A = this chain, B = another copy of it.
Amino acid sequence: MTVTIPSQVKDPELLRTRRAQIVQAAVPLFSEKGFHKTTTRELARASGMSIGALYEYVQTKEDVLFLVCQHIHQEVESQLRVSLSEHTSVVVRLRLAIEAFLRVMDRMQADVLLIYQESKSLPEPYLKEVLAHETRITQVFEQLLREGVQDGSFRLRPGEEILLAHTIVVAGQMWAFRRWALKAVAFEDFAAAQVDMLMNAALPVAERDAP
């Protein structure tokens, strides 16, 4: 929100496209080799520019990591928001949101993993911003839960909306960072089980579904 990476380059259009190039090139590199083992030279080469050019659009290697995290979060958030339905029932809306989120996690496995494993290399202000974005995504669910509690659709202990919202997000991300253990599980089965569990955690006993 507040953090902006300075650049020598004046043309904002060019700045946007070049940084997009850099992010495009950096994601697979960071994903495969990790942030520390990726060199700026590799970054430059993969971005199709010279090191000098790279450093016109970015001030440090950490800036690239930040751009990458920001980009991934924006993608996740926008894909999640686009799928938010207009259905009148919060219950339905939450279920659809969770399902949509799980599908986003499925599609963006590698990227989610990247954020989990590399964000600790971010300088403080960047990290703060990245966590703020993560919070923003969580708040989508928190908001739905809060609505449902207010109209009586959901029954939660006071203040539990935040905790459950985070549980939802983590339950989705788990598909990415437990990939090695869940290779035998079909996404549809994973999704069905998580949706059930999470919805039941919000619904009053009477409304719960069983498999």
Task: Digitize A119-155: 1 where CB-to-B-CB distance is under 8 Å, 0 elsewhere.
Answer: 0110000000001001100100000000000000001
Q: What is the predominant secondary structure among interface residues of chain A facing chain B? A: helix
Interface residues of A in 1-53 (CB under 8 A from B): 34, 36
Q: How far is the CA of A205 from the CA of B162 in the complex (A)?
A: 26
A200 adjacent to chain B (CB < 8 Å): yes
Copies held by the complex: 4
Task: Digitize A143-172: 1 where CB-to-B-CB distance is under 8 Å, 0 elsewhere.
Answer: 000000000000111011011101100110
User: What are 28 A-B interface contacts by the 8 Å CB criterion?
Assistant: A34-B120, A116-B116, A131-B180, A135-B181, A155-B210, A155-B211, A156-B211, A157-B192, A159-B189, A160-B193, A162-B184, A163-B182, A166-B174, A166-B178, A166-B181, A166-B182, A167-B193, A167-B194, A167-B197, A170-B170, A170-B171, A170-B174, A170-B178, A171-B171, A197-B197, A197-B200, A197-B201, A204-B210
